[in-house]
Structure 1
Amino acid sequence: MILFVSDLHLQPARPVLTEAFLRFLDQHALGAKQLYLLGDIFEYWAGDDDLPDPFHQQIVTALRRVSDAGVQLFWIAGNRDFLVGEQFAAAAGLTLLPETWVIDAYGQRIVLLHGDAQCTQDVKYMAFRAQVRQPAWQQQFLSMPLEQRKHIIAGLREQSKQGHAEKSYEIMDVTPAAIAEVFAQTGTSIMIHGHTHRPALHEVGGTRRYVLPDWEPEATPPRGGWLAIAEDGTISQIRGQV
């Protein structure tokens, strides 16, 4: 099996979520061929110099165990954890991928991405994204003391929460034109992404777009899940099993 997961938003304040992810790794990922982590695995990532944090060590150790078992791990950055770097990748035993990546999964060409870059109607976010994805901005930000970075991130997260309350459903979703452009540029007809927290299968004009769920095991009923591709090419959406 090839597995895909995103939008866990792991953080120390949510131990039930952490246990759900560790259980997923033990019960499902360890038996997989590949595991793709498609962004926002962490609620935020302030830089690889935060690796010694006990919570981060717990997650890294769990991922490394999967990698050491022979499972190939891949990472595409989300809008919360785009500062994950080579030190994290080396510690966890995973490969960092570009924002858009095409794979051949049992004879099927599939494009993978997080999904935030396709929310083009959210003009304010797109401007912010363009700024923080610049290497010069990241270099300057990462040169700040770790605690200062965390303080800045906390402020940005609060602004984001307030902003979401004022934005419409459509603005926070991907736009059809942006999705069509990715399909055209990559020559694919199947896409897997997360970010929107709106799990679904969208079939349009001969294309299939799978949207991964966010994880909320504390909710009633629990939310979460992943996507799996079997050796015969069958694609399954597993939801709620967290």
Structure 2
Amino acid sequence: MSTLFISDLHLDLSRPEIIRQFENFIRDEAVQADALYILGDLFEAWIGDDADSEIGQRFIDAMQPMRDAGRPAFFMHGNRDFLLGERYARKAGLTLLPDPSVINIHGTPTLMMHGDSLCIDDETYQAFRTLSRSPEWQRSFLARTTAERQAFADAAREESMRHTRDGNNETIMDVNQKAVESAMHKSGVYRLIHGHTHRPNTHGFQLSGPSAERIVLGDWYEQGSSVNIKAGP
């Protein structure tokens, strides 16, 4: 038995090699797992289920082996694709999960998050995150034309790239350890899996005494990245 976790693929037609790598990953690896969890930022940008996109269809096609094999696939929103809804999820064979969610992985309760809500030192982003997750903001945004929405997404991507290039932001864009511990305490777990930061690693620490771990998923900008948790010793 095994459970696969991926995040931050940022699928986009401008990176066809990553699309092909994902297609191979689904066909050769994911269909062998008991479940696949995608923890956000699957797409570079998602401006609404009504904006039929070529990349969206490519993903649906890529997931066909999972649907044929009856393998469950779960999706948690990221900061790039929080507008992905039930309409598209049904087409792709995805089950939507709230952020955060706790699941039992082979006997170990595990907290799953995209990870952006843990970066509390980035106050500018957190303010936008709170605003953009409100039903009012989303209704207003989705009422715009697809061209207007795409222009907003393009501008947001450029601003994100500028923000990332600024060396002064490197620390505030990472997770805050106190936020990590608070989230794990609240959920009553000693293992957390998240993405968002593009800093793959496994961090061990003490959580009010017992040992805990934080598993950070990698991005797919240059190569595929996944975590496979298997049952048994």
Question: Above 0.5 in TM-score?
Answer: yes
Shorter-chain TM-score: which interval? over 0.9
Superposed, which structure 2 residues align to 1:76-155 within 5 Å?
76-155=76-155
Amino acid paired to 2:15: R
TM-superposition CA deviations, 1:80-121 (whole Å, max 9, x none): 011100011110111101010000111010000100000000
Deviation for aligned residue 1:148: 0.9
Deviation for aligned residue 1:139: 0.9
TM-superposition CA deviations, 1:29-83 (whole Å, max 9, x none): 11111000000110010000123x2331111122243133111110010000111
- 1:212 corresponds in structure 2 to 217
- Identity, in percent, stands at 40
- 2:187 corresponds in structure 1 to 186
TM-score (norm 1): 0.91
Amino acid paired to 1:213: G
Contact 1:116–1:195 (CA under 8 A) maintained in structure 2: yes
Q: Following the alignment from structure 1 to structure 2, what is the Cα–Cα distance between the partners of residues 94 and 67?
A: 9
Q: Comparing 165-174 with 132-141, which one deviates more in the overlay?
A: 165-174
- 2:47 corresponds in structure 1 to 46
Paired residues, what number? 227
Structure 1 counterpart SS, 2:103: strand
TM-superposition CA deviations, 1:171-197 (whole Å, max 9, x none): 010000110011100000001000000
Amino acid paired to 1:216: Y
- 2:8 corresponds in structure 1 to 7
Contact 2:73–2:94 (CA under 8 A) maintained in structure 1: yes
Deviation for aligned residue 1:13: 0.6
Contact 1:78–1:114 (CA under 8 A) maintained in structure 2: yes
Contact 1:9–1:42 (CA under 8 A) maintained in structure 2: yes
Q: Following the alignment from structure 1 to structure 2, what is the Cα–Cα distance between the partners of residues 67 and 3?
A: 16
Q: Find out whether 1:157 has 2:162 as its counterpart.
A: no
TM-superposition CA deviations, 1:147-177 (whole Å, max 9, x none): 1100111111111111222243210100001
Structure 2 counterpart SS, 1:184: helix
Q: Following the alignment from structure 2 to structure 1, what is the Cα–Cα distance between the partners of residues 12 and 139?
A: 24
Superposed, which structure 2 residues align to 1:227-238 within 5 Å?
227-232=227-232
Q: Following the alignment from structure 2 to structure 1, what is the Cα–Cα distance between the partners of residues 150 and 68?
A: 31
Amino acid paired to 2:204: E
Contact 2:192–2:214 (CA under 8 A) maintained in structure 1: yes
Amino acid paired to 1:162: R
- Larger RCO, structures 1/2 (Cα 8 Å, 6+ apart): 2
Unaligned runs of 5+ in 2: none
Contact 2:40–2:114 (CA under 8 A) maintained in structure 1: yes
Q: Following the alignment from structure 1 to structure 2, what is the Cα–Cα distance between the partners of residues 149 and 160?
A: 16
- 1:176 corresponds in structure 2 to 177
TM-score (norm 2): 0.94
Q: Following the alignment from structure 1 to structure 2, what is the Cα–Cα distance between the partners of residues 58 and 157?
A: 21
Structure 1 counterpart SS, 2:50: helix
RMSD of Structure 2 on Structure 1 (CA): 1.1
- 1:238 corresponds in structure 2 to none
Q: Find out whether 1:75 has 2:80 as its counterpart.
A: no
